[in-house]
Chain A
Amino acid sequence: MFGLAMRSLRKRASAFTASFLSMFLGSAIIMAFASMLDTASAGGATGPAEETLSTMAIVVGGWGLLLVVFAVTSTLTLSVRQRAAEMALLKSVGATPGQLSRMIVGEAAGLAVAAALLGIVPGMLLGRGLLGLLHDTGQVPGDIGYSFGSAGLSMGVGVTLVSAVAAALISARRATRVRVAESMAAAATDRAKLGRKRIVFAVVFLFLALDEAIVTVTVMDGEGSNAMMTSGQADIFAAIGLALLAPAIVRRVTALLARPLRALGGPSGDLAISTMRNRTGALASAVSPVILFVGIAVGTVYLQATENAAMDAAGLTKSAEDKSIETLNFVVTGMVVLFAAIMLVNTLIAATAHRRREFGQTRLAGATPRQVLGAVAVESVVLTVTGVVCGTVASVFTIVPFGLARRDSATPDGSVWIYVAVVALAAVLTGATACGTTRRTIRVPAVEAALR
């Protein structure tokens, strides 16, 4: 099975692009931050400088682990699901579920090793840049030079490998549980009901978010910047909780928007609505990254804006610690946003390219290319609106409690244009990816797409 895994990696490299990209970027970022530990020990940093460096490494390393698991699971699950026919074929010639899992895990591990090795040089460059930033802001004395050593290397390779294998085990479990005949039927439509486990996890995450919000307004009220410690993660928990509930949310939204979209969208709108009702599973996996993207970006950026306004109001200048918190906030947000964007683009490209045959069939039934594109555009609008609304709700879990605790105001500081920019970015990413891929997919003659 390992031989088969390596062969499948070599012969079908493009199918693994997104998983590889998540692992590669993840390993580079983690190595960059983990090398701060090497820098601290090699440069003999002491006091606040040492604390700043190790906090950077540990916080970002921890978040990186979580993000890479999440991103790789989502990209790997998708690529495994698209190979349903191949999996069914392997099962039909006698592969056991255990053998299939070993193949999937083998592929992921091979990919992770390559990604981590390739990530070393970019990771060193990023780390050097990061230290430069810390020098410039005076958080670390200039005489501490950059060093990349065992901590950076082991954390980078370790986190990437562990998260890739964990993600592969999760996707393999999902893929191999289905029986041969079922896996073929399931590929066509998915009206997947929410599993009990999924609901439990969603509720747990939403409760965590609520808990953090309540603690922020009660315990942390008047505690100054420390309120960030509890409110900072609330939007992330809420976004994950809502993303887990995405299938149910998408179903409701589709039902709600069915009438207006049918009336406004003409035949394309009608086609989109009928299609979406039977593809809620696929749509939900595209909505999740939009929720994470909007929720975390909006939440963290306004959190920092409120904090800055509070500092200004108190007439205080920022200490090194404040600066390092600000840097961390933006780095973590940047990472989350980057990974969410990769997931979003990957999910949409894979899901859309997968519909080549369906688009061909729609055209054979009499749809012009423009009508197919129109239907996809309507779907993108529904996706974006759902993702933005849920993401905004998630960000409220951070913004409002922090605002109340820090400035006794539920409305955040910071320009409304930040919000507009985040929403516009989400809309452009969704729309451009979905429509661009569709355009490329429908370039082949309809018969060819439908029959082959």
Chain B
Amino acid sequence: MFGRREPRPAQQAPGEALRLENVRRVYGAEGNQVVALDGVSLSLPVGSFTAVMGPSGSGKSTLLQCAAGLDRPSGGRVFVDGAELTGDGEAALTRFRRQRIGFVFQQFNLLPTLNVMQNVVLPLKLAGRRVDKARARAVLERVGLGARLGHLPSELSGGQQQRVAIARALVTEPRVLFADEPTGALDTRSARDVLGLLQESVRMFGQTVVMVTHDPVAAAHANAVLYLADGRIVGHQTAPTAEAVAERMTHLADEVERQRTMAGA
């Protein structure tokens, strides 16, 4: 069960970045429970770029939050880079996350009071790691913001803010980078830039990326797509194209609807 430390190292495949074993997440009190994740198991190799798709309420964000140590599963186990996520309180979870995990959110979540450079080096400072300003600057140049180091988030466009968030996530060299609808608040052009950056980090630096999205165009940037419906993984697709993803999503919605009416009948 979640929360227990296992003495033996997990029997993991070589080069495995993320593994979920029968992860369940149940919300609500006894008698009025909602099952958000219903026994999800998956294994993602190092250097993979996976999109998680599914209709609203399918459990996409819950899956990401459980895998990233932001939420505690009700059951099952989560391994990041071979280390099990054990829930010994908020501080322990924070330390686990900052050693292995990077995040990018739809709403950027940059600290409004810190400038671009301060935002990017913040995770290093909080973790008590050496702050390599030159490296941080290099990462910011990579995302195209080398000239904006002293700006506050409120002085940047949405696309620029999201690129700062990506730089902040990459600077700690996380084992897995989780992105929750990273293009959800962006125009198409900024969205393409952001997806290109994620792709580049996978191709050139072997970064592992897991991205939740509902946009087939965004999902097409990934190497593989996982389909989620009613808290379960219901499909898998490699080398996706936007058309193929959209097609599948259309039928997925029909499928779920059919299952619902059958269950209701």
Chain A positions near chain B (C-beta within 8 angstroms)? 185, 188-189, 266-267, 270-271, 274-275, 277-279, 358, 360-371, 445-447, 450-451
Contacts and interface: CB of A to CB of B under 8 A. Distances in A.
Interface in B165-183: 168, 172
Contacts, number: 84
A361 B113 contact: no
B128 to A, nearest CB: 6
A447 B70 contact: yes
Nearest to B107: A451
Which of B103, B111, B152 has the most chain A CB within a 10 Å cutoff?
B111
Contacts of B118: 274
A277 to B, nearest CB: 8
B114 A267 contact: no
Interface stretch (B26-34, B90-98, B197-205): B90-98
Interface string B88-123: 001100110110000101010111111000110011
Contacts of A267: 125-126, 128
B153 interface: yes
A326 to B, nearest CB: 47
Contact of B110 (A270, A361, A369, A371): A361
A445 B71 contact: yes
Interface residues of B, number: 31
A365 B111 contact: yes
B98 A451 contact: no
A370 B65 contact: no
Contacts of B239: none
B126 A369 contact: no
Contact of B105 (A188, A275, A445, A451): A451
A362 B111 contact: yes
A358 B113 contact: yes
A191 to B, nearest CB: 9
Contacts of A366: 94, 97-98, 122-123, 126-127, 172
B154 interface: yes
B128 A365 contact: no
A365 B122 contact: yes
A278 B152 contact: yes
Given A365-B168, A366-B94, A367-B126, 11 more contacts: A188-B153, A189-B152, A267-B126, A277-B113, A363-B94, A364-B109, A365-B109, A365-B126, A366-B127, A446-B70, A447-B70
